[in-house]
Structure 1
Amino acid sequence: MSIDKFGYQQQLRRELRIRDLVAYGLVFMVVIAPFGIFGGVFQASGGMIALAYVVGAAAMILTASSYGVMVQKYPVAGSVYGYAGRAIDPAAGFLTGWAILLDYVCIPLLLSLVAGAAMNSIVGSVPVWAWVVIFVLANTVTNVLGIKTTKLLNWIFLAAELVILIIFLGYGLKALADGKGQGFSLDPFYNGTSFTWSLILGGVSIGMLSYLGFDALGLLAEDAADGARTIRRAMYVSLLVVAALFVAQTWVAALLVPDPAGLIANGDATGSAFYDAAEVAGGHWLGTLTALATALAWGIANNMVAQVATSRLLMAMSRDGQLPKFLSRVSLTRSVPTNAILATAAVSLVIGLWMATRDDGITLMSALVNFGAMIAFVVLHVCVIWEWVKNGRQGGVLRNVVVPAVGALVLIAVIWNGSLLAQTVGLIWLGVGAVILVVLLATGRKPSLPEVPGDDEPATTPKAVENV
């Protein structure tokens, strides 16, 4: 489906095929993402970390189904922001876009913070804030060069992450076979003495951070070679692959943790729980290798694609007049939203440098990212049901009502069992967005989107995006 129907000009090159999009999704989710947050999820889930990741995968599969429905109807950049604005109302789209901005704007700076902390533990002479600057600048230069450069580096980083994961799993399984750790057990999947759903959902509320990224594929609808069909398939494939890898690595690591009871009771203040398990499996060199891999994967690979996704969301909201117009300008020579990329980098630098001085910086950013994403996903499910009712109940009940309803309920349960910090700061952010919306309405600047004509109506004149 051409985006001309929605009042836009096709200005981004359709370079990405399904294999590129799957790689993009895997890099964004980071196939070794549990390395960095293993201790927190292990503690929150009472040691049943593999089960937490299985439940998280189920929730995301339901969400991917709703993404598939909406991206087929509205194959334009903007993702949930655009879906809510067209399925429900442009004002609802603005608030949803505001909520998901909390997720996307915070992700690049969160990744830089985590990577900076990891590198500081290896090279202590370089402070965290300096690593933040290095990671932000490196990714900005790469993305300004164009989507082709990003695509090539995606494949390189994905290959490296997979190699390191295979090394860990190989040494980990051999160590368990040799009698190290707790030996082979299904306790990371289910422990009858401590299991409760609130415990598991608490673990999911943290572990869900690992899955964030598959949804960013919806923001690349105008970069995909075959549009909506390619995006939908890539979402399912990348989710299924990464879920299998997450469950495998967390199961093995959970059985190699030196002091499981102590980790559950005291938490992982240094963030080294996974690296400690890797050291049990293969020695100090494997612990260091997994720590370095975490820094590079979060700081460069994931950060790079996160910045791409954030810039597309800013571009989409800008060209609809809901953010400053300069953010919608696209480079004629490189076919990328240059100003949106630079704005994302500026926010990451300013807030990242501030958060680098705080002891709770990573915790605060993680809470914001998860809250914004979960709220946006709930709205996505509502959009599918709303669209189905609005269009005269066309389409199957299972995919258009049952799946989104169950998906929304699961996510609401995850939000409810999440951290108080996430709920508090997230609600404040949504309150600010509501105030801005009221101001827009009071001053006669109600959010709007280009009209979509019926099948027998001529398409609207494509809405041009400014070029630089």
Structure 2
Amino acid sequence: MSTSSADPAARAVAQDQEGQLRRVLGVPSLVLFGLVYMVPLTVFTTYGIVTETSGGRLSVAYLVTLAAMVFTARSYARMASAYPVAGSAYTYSQKTFGAPVGFLTGWSLLLDYLFLPMLNYLVIGIYLNAAIPAIPAWLIVIVTVAIVTILNIVGIVSVARANFLIIAIQAIFIVVFLALAFVTLSGSGTVDLMAPLRGDGSAEGFSPILAGAAILCLSFLGFDAVSTLSEEAKDPKRSVPKAIMIATVTAGIIFVILSYVSQLVYPSNEFADVDSGSLEVMTTAGGQFLSVFFTAAYVAGALGSAITSQASVARILFAMGRDGILPRRLFGHVSVRFGTPEYAIIVVSVISLLAVVIDLATLASIVSFGALVAFSAVNLTVIKHYFLDAGEKNVLNNLVLPFIGFALTVWLWFSLSSLTLVVGVCWLAAGLIWLLAVTRGFQRPTPVLDLQE
């Protein structure tokens, strides 16, 4: 039975028995949520790979990616204003194209959201195990999952407070890195300020920059996570769109500055290990001290991303559970004491424990598929909702700009590896099978999310 068709009296009783999401987050907390989710230091995760791919033009590749992401972030902001509720791309597609399309969009997004916390736990285990070999990586993963789960269950306010600390650690590192880089450059003689933009000549033309930009799309996964907290935001029709745009542009500027300065300090695309090429930048800029500081700050950033990504996917599961497309008793439950979807949080934690057995290469290769599918869908929802359904014939805002965002995300989507596309298509097929089972082959209507607050 659809949520929207339930008996009002029964719904009132159900609401009395469940807790309610609390509107406590303002624009600063929402922006921090998005920034921590994206991890400002993620610029160094693929530093060596994209520097090599782009021929030493990492900062240019970031500018191209930022331009592409701004269009999609704008579409998210517009739809967050139209539907200020939990659910993100799932809700936008559901209300615009219908419940079945909404479900498949949300299902695609789950591939990204379910795997991203796991990716962060795995990275934390790898880095801390390298720093303290006596502690096995699997134990570090389990302890980290437990800590993050408790923080998320206790309440979204505790998550916001943790975000302040984690973003502060990264901010301090960035300041120290830029200061040491300036000192290093000052004592190195003549510095070619155009070198990071011109490249080192190892990869000519614009296509290597585009190839690098496709990889860097992963750095921006997270601005959409802000929209999943719409039901916990103060004045969500204004605060959430503003926070989405601020977080996207701010992260992009940070990425461009850090990549530009890094390539001034280490003007080469030759690394002892391309996967950890950023450590050579740190050693060049500040010796062993900066390398150790970087590791600590990066782990802190991964912890923050784990906290925020787990919070986001739990709320998407909550929206789908409240909708009835997933078991309502499990996923639609909100803790009366803490006001958080505790059962959904626990489910995400259990899935994240797969970080103990999965390898980093496999995990990283599939994490972006669902996000890019969702990005494409949200760009289309702007056209459908505003230009076609609402009849707002502003061609630039309601047709041209979202279509550019759609075209750019589709291009990035087809730039993914064949393995990623195979896994993603299999995931979509599984979602379609589940939808057919729930609706008895579409003989029953797909449950519709109740948007009343």
TM-score of the superposition, structure 1-length normalised? Answer: 0.88
Structure 1: which amino acid aligns with 2:248?
A: L
Confirm or deny: 8 A CA contact 1:13 1:222 kept in the other structure.
yes
Find the counterpart in structure 2 of residue 372 from structure 1.
370
Q: In structure 2, what is the equivalent of residue 305 of structure 1?
A: 308
Written as runs of structure 1 = structure 2, the 5 A alignment for 1:264-279 is 268=274, 271-279=275-283
1:434-449 equivalent positions in 2, closer than 5 A: 434-443=432-441, 444-449=443-448
Q: Aligned with 1:334: secondary structure?
A: coil
Corresponding residue number in structure 2 for 1:53 = 62
Aligned to 1:348: 352
2:109·2:370 contact (CA, 8 Å) conserved in 1?
yes
Aligned-pair distance for 1:12? 0.8
Q: Specify the alignment match of 1:289 in structure 2.
A: 293
The Cα offsets for residues 168-189 of structure 1, whole Å up to 9 and x where unpaired, read as 1111122122218x94433333
Deviations 1:316-351 (A, max 9, x none): 0111111122111001111100001111111001x2
Deviation at 1:98, TM superposition (A): 0.7
| Post-superposition offset of 1:395 | 5.2
Query: What's the CA shift for 1:277?
Result: 0.5
Greater shift after overlay, 383-392 or 52-61?
383-392
1:277–1:451 distance in 2 versus 1, CA, 3 Å: closer
Aligned-partner residue type, residue 277 of structure 1: V
2:23 maps to 1:14? yes
> Following TM superposition, by how much is the alpha carbon of 1:267 offset from its aligned partner in structure 2, in angstroms?
6.0
Q: Judge conservation of contact 1:98–1:430 (CA < 8 Å) in 2.
A: yes
Q: Tell which deviates more after alignment, 236-245 or 91-100.
A: 236-245
**Are the structure 2 counterparts of residues 450 and 141 from structure 1 closer, same or farther at C-alpha, using a change threshold of 3 Å?**
closer
1:421-440 aligned at under 5 Å gives the runs 421-440=419-438
- Which residue is 1:175 aligned to? 184
C-alpha offsets along residues 405-448 of structure 1, whole Å, 9 cap, x if unaligned? 10111111112222222222212212222232333343434423
Per the TM alignment, residue 122 of structure 1 is displaced from its structure 2 partner at its CA by 1.0
Q: Name the count of aligned residue pairs.
A: 437
Residue 77 (structure 2) aligns with: 68
Unpaired segments ≥5 residues, structure 1 = 356-360, 453-461, 464-468
For 1:98-109, what aligned pairs fall within 5 Å after superposition? 98-109=107-118
Contact 2:55 2:200 in 1 (8 A): no
Identify which of 46, 68, 90 aligns with 1:37.
Answer: 46
Q: Could you say if the C-alpha distance between residues 445 and 201 of structure 1 is closer, same or farther in structure 2, counting changes exceeding 3 Å?
A: farther
TM-score by length of 2: 0.91
Alpha-carbon spacing, 1:249–1:176, altered in 2? closer, same or farther (3 Å) = same
For each residue in 1:49-103, what CA deviation from the matched residue of structure 2 results, as whole angstroms up to 9, or x when unmatched?
1112111111111111101211111111000001001101110001101100001
Structure 2 CA distance for aligned equivalents of residues 162 and 47 of structure 1: 25
1:78 alignment counterpart = 87
Cα deviation code 1:216-247 (max 9, x no counterpart):
00000001011121000111111221111111
| Structure 1 CA distance for aligned equivalents of residues 223 and 346 of structure 2 | 23
Pick one of 410, 413, 418 that aligns with 1:412.
410
Distance 1:17 1:195 in 2: 46
Q: CA deviation at 1:150?
A: 1.0
Match of 2:195 among 187, 192, 207: 187
Matched, 1:116 2:116: no
Q: Does 1:142 align with 2:151?
A: yes
Residue of structure 1 in register with 2:326 after alignment: 323
The farther-off stretch of 183-192 and 280-289 is 183-192
String of CA shifts for 1:336-393, please: whole Å, max 9, x gaps.
00001111111001x21121xxxxx222222222111111100111111111344252
Counterpart residue number, 1:255: 264
Q: Which residue pairs with 1:163 in the alignment?
A: 172
* 1:278-298 Cα deviation digits (max 9, x unpaired): 110111111111012111210
Q: Do 2:40 and 2:255's aligned partners in 1 also have CA atoms closer than 8 Å?
A: yes
Specify whether residues 451 and 150 from structure 1 end up closer, same or farther in structure 2 by C-alpha distance, changes over 3 A only: closer
- Equivalent position SS for 1:442: coil
- Are the counterparts in 1 of residues 181 and 286 from structure 2 also a CA contact under 8 Å? yes
Match for 1:244 among 236, 253, 263?
A: 253
TM superposition shift of 1:33? 1.5
Using the TM superposition, give the Cα deviation of residue 41 of structure 1 relative to its aligned residue in structure 2, in angstroms.
2.4
